[in-house]
Amino acid sequence: MKIRLNKWLCAGVLVAALGFGSVADACTNFLFTKGATKDGSTMITYAADSHTLYGELYYRKAADYPAGSMLMLVEWDTGKPLFEIPQVEHTYSVVGNMNEHQLAIGETTYGGREECWNTPVKGIDYGSLIYVTLQRAASAREAIKVMTDLVAKYGYCSEGESFSICDPNEVWILEMIGKRAAYDTVKGKPVLKKAFKGYKDGAVWVARRIPNGYVSGHANQARITTFPQEVKGSFKAISSKNMQHLYRSEVECVYAEDVISFARMHGWFTGKDADFSFADTYAPLTFSGIRGCDARVYAMFNRVNGNMQKYEKYAMGDPNAERLPLWIRPDHKVDLQEVMNLMRDHYEGTAMDMTQDVGAGPFACPYRWRPMTWKLDGKEYIHERATSTQQTGFSFVAQCRGYISDPRVGGIIWFGVDDTYSTCYCPMYCGITEIPECFREGNGSMTEYSETSAFWLFNRVTNFCYSRYDSMIKDLQIVQNQLESKFIRDIAHRDKKLANVESGQVVRQLNTFSREFAQEMMREWTKLDHYLLVKYIDGNIKKEENGKFKTTETGMSAFPNQPEYPKWFYKQIVDDHGKVVEQKF
């Protein structure tokens, strides 16, 4: 049986290799262990950012396959069929990036050494790796084994990738890059170099468990530097040759057997094994890797721990400053709504605050249209790349609640479309078998408008807000906060109700609840759309009174407010055009 999978993932981005301008298509992941959250759930976040990615909630149902069935892999970035691999006997259902066992996986592409990916070779791509694994693995450790087994068997054809992997108990980060440097390109085809006789295709990689009570993040820059290595008689760390020990609870680091030797063969590393750094070897720091990528992780760290300012110099692009650690302990336990809001960031409160410079315009709009780099008078400049960006297809907070006995109920993917700052995270249970219409695949596209599509409704509202941001975003945030707070309260009530539902009726209830959440979100956002248009039409701001727009005694609209531009903006007009616009008499 041949199965063609749809393109589910945002386009990859070669950040470190190609420079700051490539950050236009990029992703952000934050990772939270259960000891770092108020309710004891694990969480990972993901923003799938791309100028061409349409926001949909993907679904693949659980299935059983006869012996001999085959699965056609399709490269996510291009939609190009790759090759077939044997299908497993049973696959799990997958909603977005979470499966029925509450296993969730996200990604960011860091590119890394060009030699490791610039030769075209046969292999599985990073998107297939995620979604095939979600259909085959039931835990984070099993996911690591499935992913590394797949690339060992079939090769790896993508750039350097960081993966977030979590289940109800653990959170891991896995970083991987291909081994194509072992090839020469002869007449357009890869040919193995003589020096690599006996070489095995695939990828080199390292996976680390985030310590309980800590948080981590990655945003298009490799984050794992040095790591624990296997010591005889100790199972704190194991190499791929000893994967039979992976499921021992004390194992907190796993790495490819040749991750160091492969680097030595190419002359990329010459020191002691104990000093080997994956990130420094396979993805050396660049200005864009720090300022456009690690800075996003810094911004999150800075909001959950008040002692992070010492890393701001590094985040602003100084490679000699103290480097951002892989994980930190927050100074408080975070809750779900805080995690949602951590995905809403324009570097507010830092030196990179996008609302404060002249580029924000008179209405403090924290967005900069592309390109991201530009030149003036012989010097090069950048626009910041923040966690919140206009070109997001979809984002989510995957919440894995091990304290709920039924995994179909315990796992929730809080799903949103478009800009993370102005989206609404809507709860979708991982046990659903029906996707609400507003998120359903095929309901509109990047070139086809749909009245019932959440992606287009949210884009319409957000793009209008960009025009008078400082005022309009406040109105949007009221509705956003009300809805998300209500959904969180409603989930608590639904949990109690579901605990008394017969097992065979649970899925039906989950489908109903998720559909009702989505419908309520669409209703309230449509009202917001209409409200903003009426209130802010033509640059005016209508007066309000007792929850209604103010009118005259005869029912006419009261004369609207017409707030002035800020003084600095008037000064710029005068400096640039004052002789023309000055009143002469």
Give the pLDDT of residue 5: 32
Average pLDDT score over residue span 361-374: 94
Give the pLDDT of residue 1: 30
From 434, 438, 441, 416, select the one nearest 510 (Cα to Cα): 434
In a domain, 553, yes or no: yes
Average pLDDT score over residue span 333-361: 97
Domain span including residue 560: 544-581
Give the pLDDT of residue 545: 93
Average pLDDT score over residue span 221-229: 98
573: CB partners within 8 A, 6+ apart: 581
Average pLDDT score over residue span 223-236: 93
Give the pLDDT of residue 198: 64
Q: What is the distance between the terminal CA atoms of the chain, rounded to a whole angstrom?
A: 84
- Mean pLDDT rounded to a whole number for the chain: 93
Q: Which two tokens stand for residue 378?
A: 């012989």
Give the pLDDT of residue 14: 35
In a domain, 571, yes or no: yes
Neighbour-count burial for 158-191, b at 16+ CB within 10 Å, e otherwise = bbbbbbbbbbbbbbbbbbbbbbbbbbeeeeeebe
Res 17 pLDDT > 80: no
Average pLDDT score over residue span 193-222: 90
* Cis before 371 (ω within 30): yes
183-192, 237-246, 321-330, 367-376: least confidently modelled range:
183-192
In a domain, 577, yes or no: yes
Rounded to whole angstroms, the Cα distance separating 376 from 356 reads 21
Res 9 pLDDT > 50: no
In a domain, 569, yes or no: yes
Give the pLDDT of residue 188: 73
pLDDT digits (tens, 9 = 90+) for 114-128: 999 988 888 999 999
pLDDT digits (tens, 9 = 90+) for 259-315: 999 999 999 999 999 999 999 999 999 999 999 999 999 999 999 999 999 999 999
Give the pLDDT of residue 157: 93
pLDDT digits (tens, 9 = 90+) for 89-142: 999 999 999 999 999 999 999 999 999 998 888 899 999 999 999 999 999 999
Rounded to whole angstroms, the Cα distance separating 366 from 79 reads 33
In a domain, 501, yes or no: no
Give the pLDDT of residue 3: 29
Average pLDDT score over residue span 449-463: 98
pLDDT digits (tens, 9 = 90+) for 482-532: 999 999 999 999 999 999 999 899 999 999 999 999 999 999 999 999 999
pLDDT digits (tens, 9 = 90+) for 398-421: 999 999 999 999 999 999 999 999
443: CB partners within 8 A, 6+ apart: 56, 437, 450, 452, 453
The Cα-based distances of 522 to 389, 437, 452, 461 in angstroms read 22, 10, 8, 12
Give the pLDDT of residue 472: 98
Give the pLDDT of residue 25: 53
Rounded to whole angstroms, the Cα distance separating 135 from 148 reads 15
Residue with tokens 């209703």: 523
In a domain, 566, yes or no: yes
Average pLDDT score over residue span 74-78: 83
Give the pLDDT of residue 185: 74
The count of other CB atoms within 10 Å of the CB of residue 536 is 19
Res 7 pLDDT > 60: no
From 530, 519, 527, 529, select the one nearest 438 (Cα to Cα): 519
CB 151 within 8 A of CB 123: yes
The domain tally of the chain equals 1
CB 159 within 8 A of CB 16: no
Give the pLDDT of residue 24: 36
Rounded to whole angstroms, the Cα distance separating 322 from 310 reads 8
From 185, 200, 48, 219, select the one nearest 114 (Cα to Cα): 185
pLDDT digits (tens, 9 = 90+) for 521-549: 999 999 999 999 999 999 999 999 999 99
CA 314 to chain CA mean position, Å: 22
In a domain, 327, yes or no: no
Rounded to whole angstroms, the Cα distance separating 271 from 449 reads 56
In a domain, 573, yes or no: yes
